[in-house]
């Protein structure tokens, strides 16, 4: 028999209502405290390198690292947790309101029954040295006394319930076909995941978010409305896109297709931490750089639209409002199509000249919100300030 320890502030134990030989132990464990090396001997579906590259696993990692959440530290609420089989669970110690429990199990036949992908994602992030908030939790359920002949049936039942992503329904209705046709010959075309099972690095919903933030139909440049939901609510963004496709034949979003490739380049430039890429790192002082919310990882992130990669990129709570401020450079032409008011080279120059100021203004607002990304990312004041700043630049530059 092997053992591992679970340290938890919360532990509940209850008997099984059907089989009194089975006991259920529920733990709420900090993700950073999840022990390494737990066997998955009981799991009928193992996490492989291929499945860990699926979009579902990547979204799980995003939630774990607070990259894409409307609210922070939502892993416990958005993940079903990990279920394990064990022989015995015993309490070892209690200190500072934290209990440590010893779990004894047979590595060959027990261990992780369900949630192997969750376990691998958490352990992978820890191994890569990426920062997990100490307020991210995962639910652990340990079952003891399960008869051998029931293990497979329980495992199969736990592993068959998979949620169908909204974008899969949209893709089935060919709502993404215009984007797909536009980008099909780009070097990064095979990296765009149009369905949740696609393996590409670029989620189609991310592209739609960028289009949402450049939408001057819903967010005209001369009005006090800003696309904050581009950061705060992916569901609202998807609903906007889907309704336009269903009720308007996609006309609102089709207007952007002529400048979409440039938009993708612009976002990558803003967020990229690779020197010489033109990203934020090339345009800020060392003092400001040390105050920016930079996401770092051991494995380099690929910036496909500009063909760079680096371990650092700007947190989207900063990058999104800055990107959205550049809709100041968009107008609708006589054919009802979006176009830039100047050459795209001039827009990249505008970024280079204004990057330091835009980032500094954002840093001030972040500090006013106590360094918390969720309220900061939804702060209309920041989106408005950056948008006004780019309007002032355009007027001074007479573009």
Each residue's pLDDT tens digit, 220-241: 998 889 999 999 888 889 889 9
Output the CA–CA distances (angstroms, integers) from residue 283 to 275, 280, 305, in the order listed.
10, 5, 19
Q: How confident is the model at residue 161 (pLDDT cuts 50, 70, 90)?
A: very low
* Structure-block tokens of residue 241: 């896109």
Helix (H) or strand (E) holding 99: strand 98-105
Which residue reads 């320890």 in tokens? Answer: 5
Q: How confident is the model at residue 51 (pLDDT cuts 50, 70, 90)?
A: very low
CA distance 201 to 190: 9
Give phi and psi for 118, each to the nearest 5: -60, -45
Residue 80 C-alpha from the chain's centroid: 17
**DSSP-derived 3-state class of residue 135:** coil
CA distance 161 to 177: 29
* Structure-block tokens of residue 216: 């001057």
pLDDT score of 152: 60
Residue 372 C-alpha from the chain's centroid: 16
CA distance 27 to 4: 14
Among 27, 40, 35, CA closest to 137: 27
Mean pLDDT throughout 278-303? 91
Each residue's pLDDT tens digit, 166-225: 666 666 558 899 999 999 999 999 999 887 667 788 999 999 999 999 999 999 998 889
Each residue's pLDDT tens digit, 345-394: 999 999 999 999 999 999 999 999 888 888 898 999 999 999 999 999 99
**DSSP-derived 3-state class of residue 8:** strand
Do 331 and 399 meet the contact criterion of CB atoms below 8 Å apart? no
Which residue reads 């650092």 in tokens? Answer: 312
* Structure-block tokens of residue 352: 């280079």
Residue 154 or residue 310, greater confidence = 310
Which residue reads 């830039």 in tokens? Answer: 340
pLDDT score of 68: 65
Each residue's pLDDT tens digit, 323-351: 999 999 999 999 999 999 999 999 999 99
Give phi and psi for 321, each to the nearest 5: -60, -35
- Tell me: pLDDT of 47 over 60: no
**DSSP-derived 3-state class of residue 215:** coil
Do 104 and 87 meet the contact criterion of CB atoms below 8 Å apart? yes
* Structure-block tokens of residue 294: 């930079």
Note the helical H segments in 255-379.
Answer: 260-271, 286-289, 316-325, 344-368, 373-377
CA distance 11 to 29: 9
Output the CA–CA distances (angstroms, integers) from residue 377 to 77, 272, 395, in the order listed.
21, 19, 27
Give phi and psi for 181, each to the nearest 5: -65, -40
Q: How confident is the model at residue 273 (pLDDT cuts 50, 70, 90)?
A: very high
């Amino acid at each position: 028999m092997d053992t591992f320890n679970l340290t938890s502030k919360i532990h509940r134990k209850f008997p099984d209502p059907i089989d009194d030989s089975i006991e259920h132990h529920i733990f709420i464990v900090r993700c950073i405290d999840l022990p390494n090396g737990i066997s998955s001997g009981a799991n009928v579906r193992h996490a492989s390198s291929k499945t860990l590259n699926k979009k579902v696993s990547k979204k799980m990692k995003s939630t774990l690292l607070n990259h894409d959440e409307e609210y922070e530290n939502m892993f416990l609420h958005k993940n079903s947790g990990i279920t394990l089989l064990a022989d015995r669970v015993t309490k070892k110690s209690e200190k500072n309101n934290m209990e440590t429990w010893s779990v004894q199990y047979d590595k060959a036949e027990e261990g992780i029954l369900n949630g192997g992908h969750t376990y691998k994602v958490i352990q992978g992030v820890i191994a890569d040295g990426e920062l997990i908030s100490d307020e991210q939790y995962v639910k652990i359920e340990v079952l003891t006394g399960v008869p051998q002949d029931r293990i497979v049936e329980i495992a199969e039942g736990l592993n068959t319930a998979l949620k169908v992503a909204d974008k899969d329904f949209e893709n089935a209705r060919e709502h993404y076909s215009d984007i797909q046709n536009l980008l099909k010959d780009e070097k990064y075309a095979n990296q765009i995941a149009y369905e949740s099972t696609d393996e590409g690095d670029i989620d189609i919903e991310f592209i739609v978010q960028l289009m949402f933030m450049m939408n001057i139909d819903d967010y005209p440049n001369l009005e006090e409305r800003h696309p904050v939901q581009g950061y705060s609510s992916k569901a609202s963004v998807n609903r906007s896109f889907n309704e336009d496709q269903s009720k308007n034949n996609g006309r609102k979003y089709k207007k952007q297709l002529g400048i979409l490739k440039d938009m993708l380049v612009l976002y990558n430039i803003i967020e990229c931490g690779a020197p010489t890429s033109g990203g934020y790192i090339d345009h800020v002082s060392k003092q400001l750089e040390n105050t920016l919310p930079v996401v770092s990882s051991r494995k380099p992130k690929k910036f496909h639209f500009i063909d760079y990669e680096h371990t650092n990129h700007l947190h989207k709570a900063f990058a999104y409002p800055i990107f959205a401020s550049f809709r100041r450079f968009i107008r609708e032409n006589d054919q009802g199509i979006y176009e830039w008011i100047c050459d795209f080279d001039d827009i990249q120059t505008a970024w280079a000249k204004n990057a330091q100021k835009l980032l500094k203004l954002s840093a001030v607002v972040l500090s006013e919100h106590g360094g918390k990304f969720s309220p900061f990312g939804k702060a209309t004041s920041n989106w408005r300030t950056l948008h006004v700043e780019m309007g002032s630049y355009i007027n001074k530059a007479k573009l």
